[in-house]
């Protein structure tokens, strides 16, 4: 994106750092000032992208900012995205393998005949069933 010589003034908006699809950015020959944001891919643009902005400072320019501090970088979301992705991958693997195992066991049990162990387990623990008569009252 070429925004050179457009008489832009002030700080570089942080919203520009969200445009991760930019392959190149040219902000040269404007009236930009203060620190160059270091978020996302902004540190990959060359020094030439910011030439002609005498009050602009920070990486990748050789001019350091007057506060003698390292620039504040925005909170890193890369680690959070990695952890979230990892958790979802683990959950998907667990659900997927459980589904395959369950379907396989179900197929084997029900194609080989009546699952006697299941029938015995159900008969061993009979539950009291309450029936409702025609009047809507419960019978014991």
Question: Does one domain contain both 8 and 34?
Answer: yes
Question: Does one domain contain both 124 and 87?
Answer: yes
pLDDT at site 101: 93
* Number of domains making up the chain: 2
**Global confidence as pTM:** 0.39
Instruction: Indicate if the pLDDT at residue 7 is higher than 70.
Output: yes
Question: Does one domain contain both 18 and 66?
Answer: yes
- Res. 21 pLDDT band, cuts 50 70 90: confident
Question: Does one domain contain both 3 and 33?
Answer: yes
- Res. 44 pLDDT band, cuts 50 70 90: confident
pLDDT at site 140: 54
CATH number, position 30: 3.80.10.10
Question: Does one domain contain both 69 and 93?
Answer: no
Residue closest to 41 by CA, chosen among 62, 18, 14, 60? 18
Q: Rounded to an integer, what distance in angstroms lies between the CA atom of residue 100 and that of residue 105?
A: 9
Question: Does one domain contain both 56 and 97?
Answer: no
Question: Does one domain contain both 31 and 60?
Answer: yes
Residue closest to 26 by CA, chosen among 5, 49, 10, 42? 49
The separation between CA 88 and the C-alpha centre of its own chain, rounded to angstroms, equals: 10
- Looking at 42, 74, 106, which one is the last position of a domain? 74
- Res. 35 pLDDT band, cuts 50 70 90: confident
Range of the domain at 124: 78-139
pLDDT tens per residue, range 76-85: 566 667 777 8
């Amino acid at each position: 994106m070429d925004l050179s010589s457009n008489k832009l003034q002030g700080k570089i908006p942080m919203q520009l750092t969200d445009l991760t699809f930019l392959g190149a950015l040219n902000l040269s020959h404007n009236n930009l000032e203060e620190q160059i944001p270091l978020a996302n891919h902004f540190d990959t643009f060359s020094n030439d992208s910011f030439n002609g902005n005498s009050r602009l400072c920070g990486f990748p320019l050789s001019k350091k900012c007057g506060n003698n501090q390292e620039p504040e970088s925005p909170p890193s979301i890369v680690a959070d995205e990695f952890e979230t992705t990892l958790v979802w991958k683990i959950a998907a693997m667990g659900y997927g393998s459980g589904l395959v195992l369950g379907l396989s066991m179900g197929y084997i049990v029900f194609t080989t005949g009546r699952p006697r162990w299941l029938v015995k387990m159900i008969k061993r623990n009979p539950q009291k069933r309450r029936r409702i008569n025609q009047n809507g009252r419960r019978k014991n």
